[in-house]
Structure 1
Amino acid sequence: MLVSIDVATAGDQPLYAPAPDWIAPAKLSDALKSAVSGGPVLLDIQQRIDGATVWNYSDTAIRLDTPEALAQNSNITVAWSPDKGDLIIHQLAIFRDGEEIDALAGGQTFTVLRREQQLEQRELTGILSATFAVEGLRVGDTLRLRMSTSAKDNALGGRAQVVQPLVADPVRVSAAGYKLSWRAGEPTSWKILADKVDAKAARNGAFSELPIALPVPKQPDIPADAPGRFQRLHLIEASTFADWADVSKIMAPHYATEGAILKGSAIAAEVDAITSATTDPLRRTAMALQLVQDKIRYLAVGMDGGNYVPQSPTTTWDKRYGDCKAKTLLLLAMLEAMDIEAEPVLAHAMLGDVVPLRVPSALAFNHILVRATIGGDTFWLDGTGLGTRIADIRDTPALGYVLPVRPEGAELMKIDLRPPSRPSVSLSIDVDESTSVDLPSVIDLTMVTRGQFASLLTLAASQLPEKEQRKLHEQLLQNYVGEAQYDLLTATPDTENGTVTLKGRGVFNSGWRLQERRTERWLSRFPNLFSFEPDRARPAWADIPVATAAPDMSHYRMQIRLPDGGRGYTIDGEQLLDTQMAGAAIKRSVSMADGVIVVEETLSATGAEVPAGQIASERDRVATMLARSPRLVAPENARRRWELEGAASSTQLKAVKAIFAKTSADADEEDITALTSSASFYRGIGDFKGAAEVLTRQLSLLPSADAYLARAAALREMGDLAGALRDAEEARKLDPASPQAMVSVASYMAEQGDVTNAVALLDERIALGGKTRDDYRRSKFALIGQFGDAQKALTELDALIAEKPGSPTLLNERCWIKASRNIQIDTALKDCTSAMELSESTAAILDSRALVWMRLGRDEDALRDLDAALLQAPAMGSSRFLRAIVTKRLGNDNQAATDLAVARRMAPSIEREYAHFGLKP
């Protein structure tokens, strides 16, 4: 890291003196007249370049018009670097009712703190902090601080440089200004990187001056995906460097390698080991780079002249730490000792595209790396990188324009980007879905990571306990495969290849979804990984190209074992793809054979810009490619979770049960996710006993209202109404405000015959009013409609519908009460039809209307509605039960038996419930 410090000084104690004569002090009285509440009163910055020294003067004043402002500003902290110049305090004063109070009266001074402020960011800056607690401040006071710093960096060879942020609209400041001055006889370059700033330099005695009124105009909005050179930065910069070649030449002596490796030293031994291991210069280079990356930890050193001067290779090796400067010099010295052509290169990690637009100075860069030439090929070697090996040593960093550092000087050059040589993430998944399309999928995965991911995992292995490591692994995998429960999860580092491999076995939610009445799943990951939707609607943006992602590669392979050997399964969409679009190279192949789907995809970001004239066509290409992404479509008779008996393969089901058994046993009060997932799985396959057992364990670890209610529902399906009521009561104790708990208690009471007390319980809640009042009213009417006086329920429900005539839920409730209790059938049909017209989800309404048709003796119409309902919700037990009755009436005994079996599996209580209405299969 190249540390650039604009406000820096020398001497380890602040000085106290009047401002220099060249300062034109601002008038605080004028600023106070126009002061507005909530912002600074005064901000005046003046900078002067005088030979190799840069002076920085600041005058700030803030009105403490609120207790919050008083608290935030009563302690002042200023920072400086004592190896560059002096910190000079000119004035610290309180202004109150026209009176100036000297806060430094009586010899009070700033206290110097000598601790490192940035050590947690792996940075030794050498910066000192001086603090001052201002005494006697009151709300309404104005606090003013005037100070200067001087900075002379001997590493710059007598050159001076300045960069200063400029306050821009809409920042609120009552009075603000900036002025830059320099000796008229010295060649000084300056530039304002913001647009629409009217500034002209003028001679004032021996100095030229450039005043700028602040705040500068608000800069035009630029799309976030625009290349950096289109951004307008609120900066002014100046320097006495002649040109970029001058910057290169001045930096060169700091990276001289002659004598850097002492004969017989530890570094020399490392070089000898490398040269003995191979004669191939490329392999030698890769080995040297690996040593610098792996054996020298990163720590930025900006102290004692370290902004631009690297520590020696010997120091770096002995201390086993260094920043980009130190790592670069060490690597250069090693390559030089092995007769490999290499040079240092200055870069900016984020603004490389902007460098050619800037004033030549060392401030244009914040990073340095090595450019090596081997066999006519160029290699960009970053000692601060992670996990680089010979397999990817040809990869190029997205740093834009860089500056080679040479004794004779050099000009800027642009790094030509190459596609990455190997993936940063390579994910392989073996998916077992051979039993049913809507069971949880069983996955065996292998994810090979390199670079930052591998470094993160390696660091976690050395610093985190096993439990926290596993949590990190699960979080990382969740971004790639979704939430899963793993009974096996390991991380294995491979130092030789610079990778860490995650292996896991677990279950995750099925990828199958019901889309437009067909069951399908996506096979491609591109819709989740890749998009291209630049906004160039504004006329001012029409000619701005798009900057795409830096070079990176990900590889994905998925193998899916299908039910029934894959019979009837088809693939929609584009199976083969090999193209480049929107700054990415994309490859895909999809194949199906012997009941196994294999998907292989590679996505490589190239870093290429998309010219403005191609944006529209590239958007269309990307949208078309994503729309054609392959989908796997299941046949209509695909085996479902309620049809598991007789499945050709039960490996998926057995594996799901085994994995959930393991993860549930490992669950604790800090993480019960495995238990909730396991309970959901057992409910989904109609195993309510299994669900209740899992929920019992969950309640023993972490009781909750939701868990009690879930177990109550399972017990009800098992016929244990007393147990269900007990659990619902426990849920109500834990969460007395829960409407679900209250309604569940009332429902279970009514189902056991205690309708009076159940209604009274709901009436208590209704009497309280509030947002939930009408929900409780609806629940009460449904309860009475099912177990009590149906006519009374309809009368009260009529009143509620009159208040909310557009509610499909209420209309369906009224239709259902009429149909189930077989009253007012002549108007029930209208209720259901009206509800359907108002609702987007009609399965429950179709179910109600089917019962109306049945009451009217129109079984064909009932069957039509039940078929439509089950297309939307195939597992709906009530529709299965009703269809069993209808199809038996129509003479289709086989279909009736099938539906009845499914209904009994998915909703065992349905037969008891419908018997109450006189409906039996």
Structure 2
Amino acid sequence: MQRPDMKPIAAAFLLAPMIAAPAMAASPKALPASNRQVQVVPAPAWVVPPPTPTEQADLPTAAMRFVYVDNQAFAGPAGLESYSAYRIRLLKPEALALGTITLSWLPDAGSARLHALRLIRDGKVTDLTANAKFEVIQRESNLEASMLDGRLTAVYQVPGLQVGDEIEIAQTVTIKDPTLPEHRSGLAILPQGGVPGAFRTRIAWPEGAAIRWQATKDVEVAEPSLVGANRVLSVELRDPAAPEEPVVGAPPRYSIHRLIEFTDFARWPELSARLWPLYDKTSRPAPGSPILAEAAKIAAATSDPTRRAEMALRLVQDRIRYVYVGLDTGNMTPASVDETWTRRFADCKGKTVLLIAILRELGIAAEPMLVNSNGGDGLGLRLPNPGLFDHVIVRATIAGKPWLLDGTRLGDRALDLLPVGAWREGLPLREGGGELEKLPTPSPVHPQAVNLLDIDATAGIDQPALVTARRILRGNDAASLAAWFATVPADQAQRAIKEYWRGEEPWIEGDKASWKLDEDSGILTLTLTGEGELGDPDEAKTENGSVDVPASGLTAPSRLRRPRSQDQTLPWVTAYPSFNCWATTLRLPPPPANQRWDLSGEPFDKLMGGVGYWRRLSLADNVVRTVMSRRFQVPEISAAQATELNGQLASYDGSAATLSLRQTFKGAAKWPQQPQPFSDATDWTQGGTPCAPAQNAKPSAAGQ
């Protein structure tokens, strides 16, 4: 999702006053001509001179040196004015690319102003400010991801630049979001590396403004002081050392360093209530709207609320394509449902209000919920700020259960097959305001992917076997991949499928590859047929001809260790909600006289470090069947659970099952008969596939 931001120098500092949620806008209104050009004006009165340079020597391997980086912001009546100045010394030829000066801004929310641009060579200053001719372009850098935000970029090439020169620039970009014109909030990230130079962050606001702020514990900053009519928060780092290394394996919230944040929202419910009218108004269809007719069709088709919700979700996902256009007020405001229906495209906000409108007509309660697409770990530790969210979904209560529905996904056909979301916290938008909520993190029920191998070795295990390999995907991954397959030549799609299976099962020599999408179920199947030789062809055959059964072993997890210098009590993050399943059918010839097939390997069902490792296997009627899965059941585990995991590793044996021929004689031990974990008739595209213990193969009551 697109986030408007300002990155004067990404390596040194980021000030993101309004990291706005993605949106779909109405037609752009006329803008002042000055907003579309770089304005050359003096620096604002609230700006103070830059910090003095430091004495530390240049790093011998560095291509450039920051003399200073000065970022100042004023949260005042004109909006959030972000002043950025820096002086940089070019030490090596590869730094000459820094002579491409770029300014970036959103013209519907503010302007770009240049205060100074100088070239310094051997102590002589050449002032380029007045004569610098910036080329202004509207460069949609995320067009391939169906994202348009109207951002303008001004570009200027400093002429005659040489190694040893210094560039000094000062600029201000103003943002006053039309949808939240009275509010100010932002984040400032101080240098994240150890580099010589002077780095200052200064945030000011009018005395009496209800601005709250906080900083991470590694930022030493005094209480804001009164300077004239403004309160000023200022911190300066001189030749800073690198911050602490991220704690190995810890959740992201423990790796946030050198951060200052500020906001004038007192509490999360205030932000929720402030945004709610934008969604409520745009989710109301006009009388006689075709949306009402679509809802009526669903109502006539079924009275089951679950089925109604599934049909509504499919309508929004399939018939409204995703496009983000952050123009005009669209950075925060959804397009109206009727406008979306006419256009047949929308972003997450437009899709959200359309889904809410249809569900409302069907008698299903639903509300918008802001989330962060990266999970949002630790949002509750931050100050209320709309820029912390980049996505919005629907929370609906269906047949008494809460469900999280995402209209921007593709291929969701059944509620009980919805994947577990990665969102950790969310903010419901309500008329009276909603608190930031922890979202449920149930153990995933359905595998994200199932890999199936059917191996016909009836000609003998020492002969090339006929192999059919299938990968089954559902939901968004399936729909996105199928859309790509549909746009490329057939031979290119076949090559991609063969390449995938070559990485998974390199022993298979693929002959034919194909793909098939079932529109009704949203299931995509990638199929490869070919042949392969069981066992390692470079190894000498053993006397009993033993071979490992392909895709029947699960590697042990790695030992969880941190450097002694790091906090050993912090939790460990997992790959939740990853859930993958593998099943193999190996068809054998009848054994020779006085011999029998023997399968070595034990079933297991072990929980280690919040991850379920599970396997079942059988040998009956000359057919081997194995099925196994790895399921991450929780987002993170405690330090004590990590210690327990380390202690379990010695006893874990997830090695592949081994097939061999054994001599038969009276009293010889036989492979213990095990129930077949699946059969040739098993439908792996449905829910309830035999990929996990039966007692866990039921949807969570929380729905998501």
Letter in 1 for 2:332: Y
Q: Name 2:676's counterpart in structure 1.
A: none
Q: What CA distance in whole angstroms lies between the structure 2 residues aligned with 1:437 and 1:574?
A: 22
* Correspondences of 1:102-121 after superposition (within 5 Å): 102-105=127-130, 107-121=131-145
Q: Name 1:565's counterpart in structure 2.
A: 591
Q: Tell me which of 432, 439, 454 is aligned to 2:456.
A: 432
Matched, 1:190 2:213: yes
Task: Judge conservation of contact 2:285–2:337 (CA < 8 Å) in 1.
Answer: yes
Task: Judge conservation of contact 1:584–1:606 (CA < 8 Å) in 2.
Answer: yes
Q: What CA distance in whole angstroms lies between the structure 1 residues aligned with 2:418 and 2:197?
A: 54
Q: Name 2:177's counterpart in structure 1.
A: 153
Distance 1:396-1:634 versus aligned 2 partners, 3 A rule: closer
Task: Judge conservation of contact 1:549–1:606 (CA < 8 Å) in 2.
Answer: no
Q: What CA distance in whole angstroms lies between the structure 2 residues aligned with 1:97 and 1:537?
A: 47
Letter in 2 for 1:178: T
Q: Name 1:445's counterpart in structure 2.
A: 469
Q: What CA distance in whole angstroms lies between the structure 1 residues aligned with 2:432 and 2:163?
A: 60
* Correspondences of 1:379-418 after superposition (within 5 Å): 379-392=403-416, 395-418=419-442
Q: Tell me which of 296, 300, 309 is aligned to 1:276.
A: 300
Q: Name 1:74's counterpart in structure 2.
A: 99
Structure whose CA Rg is larger: 1
Matched, 1:87 2:112: yes
Q: Tell me which of 228, 251, 256 is aligned to 1:205.
A: 228
Q: Tell me which of 157, 174, 177 is aligned to 2:200.
A: 177
Q: Name 2:387's counterpart in structure 1.
A: 363
The gaps in structure 2 that reach 5 residues or longer are 6-15, 19-30, 665-704
* Correspondences of 1:536-575 after superposition (within 5 Å): 536-538=562-564, 540-565=566-591, 567-575=595-603
Q: Name 1:613's counterpart in structure 2.
A: 640
Deviation at 1:393, TM superposition (A): 5.1
Distance 1:524-1:204 versus aligned 2 partners, 3 A rule: farther
Q: What CA distance in whole angstroms lies between the structure 2 residues aligned with 1:223 and 1:526?
A: 34
Q: Tell me which of 455, 460, 463 is aligned to 2:484.
A: 460
Q: What CA distance in whole angstroms lies between the structure 1 residues aligned with 2:596 and 2:636?
A: 44
RMSD, aligned α-carbons: 2.8
Matched, 1:96 2:121: yes
- Secondary structure of 1:150's counterpart equals strand
Distance 1:521-1:321 versus aligned 2 partners, 3 A rule: farther
Q: Name 2:82's counterpart in structure 1.
A: 56
* Correspondences of 1:323-342 after superposition (within 5 Å): 323-342=347-366
Matched, 1:289 2:316: no
- Secondary structure of 2:355's counterpart equals helix
Distance 1:253-1:622 versus aligned 2 partners, 3 A rule: farther
Q: What CA distance in whole angstroms lies between the structure 1 residues aligned with 2:329 and 2:540?
A: 65
List per-residue Cα deviations over 1:24-48 (Å, max 9, x = no partner): 11167x4699666632222111111
Task: Judge conservation of contact 1:313–1:329 (CA < 8 Å) in 2.
Answer: yes
Q: What CA distance in whole angstroms lies between the structure 2 residues aligned with 1:436 and 1:546?
A: 47
Distance 1:34-1:532 versus aligned 2 partners, 3 A rule: closer
Deviation at 1:128, TM superposition (A): 0.4
Deviation at 1:331, TM superposition (A): 1.1
Q: Tell me which of 519, 527, 533 is aligned to 1:495.
A: 519
Distance 1:374-1:7 versus aligned 2 partners, 3 A rule: closer
Q: Name 1:674's counterpart in structure 2.
A: none
Aligned length: 632
Task: Judge conservation of contact 1:4–1:363 (CA < 8 Å) in 2.
Answer: no
Task: Judge conservation of contact 1:271–1:337 (CA < 8 Å) in 2.
Answer: yes
List per-residue Cα deviations over 1:511-539 (Å, max 9, x = no partner): 45859967544447475576243223525
Distance 1:387-1:304 versus aligned 2 partners, 3 A rule: same
Task: Judge conservation of contact 2:199–2:237 (CA < 8 Å) in 1.
Answer: yes
* Correspondences of 1:592-603 after superposition (within 5 Å): 592-603=619-630
List per-residue Cα deviations over 1:96-144 (Å, max 9, x = no partner): 2332211134x44322113423212321011001111222333322111
Letter in 2 for 1:363: G
Distance 1:314-1:258 versus aligned 2 partners, 3 A rule: closer
Letter in 2 for 1:94: L
Matched, 1:506 2:530: yes
Deviation at 1:637, TM superposition (A): 8.6
Q: Which has the higher strand share?
A: 2
- Secondary structure of 1:154's counterpart equals coil
Letter in 2 for 1:450: R
- Secondary structure of 2:37's counterpart equals coil
Letter in 1 for 2:3: V
Matched, 1:243 2:267: yes
Q: Name 2:91's counterpart in structure 1.
A: 65
Task: Judge conservation of contact 2:103–2:112 (CA < 8 Å) in 1.
Answer: no
Letter in 2 for 1:176: F
Q: What CA distance in whole angstroms lies between the structure 2 residues aligned with 1:335 and 1:211?
A: 49
Distance 1:591-1:398 versus aligned 2 partners, 3 A rule: same
Q: What CA distance in whole angstroms lies between the structure 1 residues aligned with 2:552 and 2:336?
A: 47
Q: Name 1:877's counterpart in structure 2.
A: none
Q: Percent identity?
A: 30
Q: What CA distance in whole angstroms lies between the structure 2 residues aligned with 1:69 and 1:220?
A: 27
Bigger shift: residues 113-122 or 302-311:
113-122
Distance 1:628-1:133 versus aligned 2 partners, 3 A rule: closer
Q: What CA distance in whole angstroms lies between the structure 1 residues aligned with 2:578 and 2:132?
A: 57
Q: Name 2:560's counterpart in structure 1.
A: 534
Q: Tell me which of 341, 348, 356 is aligned to 1:317.
A: 341
Distance 1:294-1:605 versus aligned 2 partners, 3 A rule: farther
Task: Judge conservation of contact 1:343–1:404 (CA < 8 Å) in 2.
Answer: yes
- Secondary structure of 2:454's counterpart equals strand
List per-residue Cα deviations over 1:771-829 (Å, max 9, x = no partner): xxxxxxxxxxxxxxxxxxxxxxxxxxxxxxxxxxxxxxxxxxxxxxxxxxxxxxxxxxx
Deviation at 1:465, TM superposition (A): 0.2
Q: Name 2:608's counterpart in structure 1.
A: 581
Q: Name 2:155's counterpart in structure 1.
A: 131
Distance 1:169-1:271 versus aligned 2 partners, 3 A rule: same
Q: Name 1:705's counterpart in structure 2.
A: none
List per-residue Cα deviations over 1:705-736 (Å, max 9, x = no partner): xxxxxxxxxxxxxxxxxxxxxxxxxxxxxxxx
Q: What CA distance in whole angstroms lies between the structure 1 residues aligned with 2:358 and 2:237?
A: 50
* Correspondences of 1:746-761 after superposition (within 5 Å): none
Task: Judge conservation of contact 1:84–1:151 (CA < 8 Å) in 2.
Answer: yes
Which structure has more RCO (C-alpha within 8 Å, separation ≥ 6)? 2
Bigger shift: residues 185-194 or 278-287:
185-194
Task: Judge conservation of contact 1:65–1:139 (CA < 8 Å) in 2.
Answer: yes
Q: Tell me which of 174, 181, 187 is aligned to 1:163.
A: 187
- Secondary structure of 1:180's counterpart equals strand
Q: What CA distance in whole angstroms lies between the structure 1 residues aligned with 2:320 and 2:313?
A: 11
Distance 1:267-1:249 versus aligned 2 partners, 3 A rule: same
- Secondary structure of 1:328's counterpart equals helix
Q: What CA distance in whole angstroms lies between the structure 2 residues aligned with 1:417 and 1:524?
A: 33
Deviation at 1:155, TM superposition (A): 1.7
Task: Judge conservation of contact 1:63–1:140 (CA < 8 Å) in 2.
Answer: yes
Q: Name 2:444's counterpart in structure 1.
A: 420
Task: Judge conservation of contact 2:581–2:628 (CA < 8 Å) in 1.
Answer: yes
Q: What CA distance in whole angstroms lies between the structure 1 residues aligned with 2:222 and 2:657?
A: 61
Q: Name 2:667's counterpart in structure 1.
A: none
Q: What CA distance in whole angstroms lies between the structure 2 residues aligned with 1:178 and 1:613?
A: 40
Q: Which has the higher helix share?
A: 1
- Secondary structure of 2:661's counterpart equals coil
Distance 1:137-1:555 versus aligned 2 partners, 3 A rule: closer
- Secondary structure of 1:423's counterpart equals coil
Task: Judge conservation of contact 1:398–1:607 (CA < 8 Å) in 2.
Answer: no
Deviation at 1:618, TM superposition (A): 1.9
Task: Judge conservation of contact 2:278–2:334 (CA < 8 Å) in 1.
Answer: yes
- Secondary structure of 1:462's counterpart equals helix
